Structure 1
Amino acid sequence: MFIVKDFDLKLTFESGQPLAFYGEYRLEKNGKGLSYVTDRGVIRLHCEKTKSSTNIDYNYIGKYTAKSAENDIRARLGLSQDMRKVYAAIDTDQFMHEAITSLRGLRMTKSDPWEATLCYLTSQANNMKRIRGTIRKFVDVFGDDYKGKGACAKLFPSPASIAKATIPELTACGTGFRAKYIKGVAASFAGGFDSDALYGMDYATAKLELTKHRGIGDKVADCVLLFGYGKMQAFPTDVWIKRVVEHVYFGSRKTSAREIHSFAENKWGPYAGYAQQYLFWHGRSKTIGKPSS
C-alpha cells in the first residue's frame, strides 16, 4: 500500500483522458477500484479516501514486483506529480480557483505514446461513446492475447497489427474517414519513426515531428504530447476549450487557436496542460461554450 494526497480515481479516470480510452482498463462501479493488463502482467488497485489523503492498495500478477507495480501505477495515474506546485502554478484567477476547488484530485494520466496516438487519431470529429467503442473493437480484433496466468484478456494492439489491417477491416471497427490516417501513422510507428526520440525533444520540436504525419494536426499532436509524453506545456485546443477560454479570458471575443496557445503558455507556463483539463471540465460543468438552443 502507498499513500498520496490530492487524488480522485473516479474523477481522473472519467475525465476523458486516454488511459487507452478504456481499451484494457476496467473501473469498478463504485469508482474505488481499477484493473488493467499490460504485456508484463495484470494490476488491480483499490483506493480509500481519508480526510487528507488516499490510501492505494494493490496486487499484481505476472512479471511485476511490488515496487515495479507501484511505479507503474504512479506513472499511469500521474501520482508522482507534485500537486502543490501544480496548483500554485495554475491557481491564477477566480475561475481557475473555482475549478481547482471543484475538481481537486484530478490528475494528468500517462499512456504509452502509441496508445495515445491511436486514441486521438480515432477521436477526431467524434464523440466519446463512439471513440471508446472503436478502441474496444481495436483491442478485441487486433490485440494479442495476454499469455500470463490469472486473467483472460487482450492487449492493446501494436502499431504493426494496425498497419497490417486493411482499410475495410479498420472501417469495420468504426473508424470512418480516419481509417487511412490511422493505417498510415501505424505503418510509420511500426517502421522507421523513432517515437521514443520525442521524449528527449523540446515541446515545439516534438510537435513538429508528430505533425509531419498525415492526419496528425495541431490538436491531436498536443493531445499526444500531453498524455503520451507528459509534456505539460501542451495545451490541446478543441472547440470546447476555445469557447471556455474566449468566454473567461477574452470577453467572448473570437480568438485564434494560435493566440490561445500563446496566452496559455504565458499564463500557466510548464503546467498549461494541467490548466487545460481543469478549465475544460469546470467550463463544461457551467455549460460555458454550449451552443444555445
Structure 2
Amino acid sequence: MPDIRMLELMFTCERTIFIVLEDHLHRPAWVDMPDKRVIQPQPNQGIIDNTTYDVLRPGVQINSKSLRDQADSSVLSTTAGVLVENDAGEAFMTAASHGIGEDGTVWKGGRADRIIGKAAVEIPFTDISLLKPKKDVAFVYKTFETEAAGPSPKFICLRTSEDDMPCGPCYLNSTYTGNMVGALVHKSVRLFKPDTPTTCTQRDLRYVVYDWMHTGQVEGNDSKVQPSDGTCGSAVWNGDGVILGFYQHYVSEGPWAGFAASVSASAVVDAGYRLARHPC
C-alpha cells in the first residue's frame, strides 16, 4: 500500500500489535531543542547530582560544549552509559549522541578541565555514540547503592537481538532521577526510509528497536519523579544484570503519557560491540 507510510510497529506483553501511522509517541526533535545548560542541585525538583567523581560509573553526569566557538557558553548535559569493547579489545563508553557537542569532547560533572574523552563512533539512527576514553579515566560497573534498592547490580552482558522480548521489572539509576524501578511492557521497531517510499528498496530500509517502560509518573502529575532530558544515555537493566538498553525520552502527554523509551542494547551488539570484560 504505497500511499500509507508505516512509522513504527509496537508489540505488547499482552500479545497485541500497534501499527503506528502518526507520531503519537511525541519523540523529541533533538536538533530543534535548545542547548541544555548544566543543572545545579535543586532538591525540591528531584535528585540531581553534578559532582565530579574521580571514578566514572553508569548514570553519572557528563557534559559537553555545544559549539566549537569558545565564546559560546552553552553546555550539554547527559549521563554516562556503560563501557563496551570491540573484537580487538578496544574500549569505548556509550553516550547519547545529541548530548555531545561539535568537537566531540566530553568531561565529568561540572568540571570542564576533567576531560573524559572524545566521540569516536556514532551508531546511525540510534542516538548512541561511543566515546574513546582517555587512558587515565577509571570506570566501574557499579551504580550508586541506595537504601531502597540495596546493593548495586552486577552487570553481565548487553541484550542481543536474539533474546526474547523483555517484560517485567527494569531499573535505572542516574544523577537526575536517583534509583528508578519500572515495568517493561512494549517493544517497538521504528522504520527509517527515504521520503519517497515508492522508490524505496529493501536495502534502503533501516530500523531501530525500542523498549517501552512504565514507571507511573503520570499518575498524580508528580513532576518531581519524571525523568529530565539529562537522563538520556543512562543504562536500563533487569534483575539478572543484563543491560537492556539506553534511556532516550519520556512521553508526558497524549495516549502514551507515562511511558519512557529506551534504545535496545542490541543495536550496540549488532554494531560489533560487547560489554567490556574488564572496566578500566
TM-score, normalised with respect to structure 1: 0.29
Identify the structure with bigger relative contact order (alpha carbons < 8 Å, sequence gap 6+): 2
TM-score, normalised with respect to structure 2: 0.30
Which protein has the bigger helix share? 1
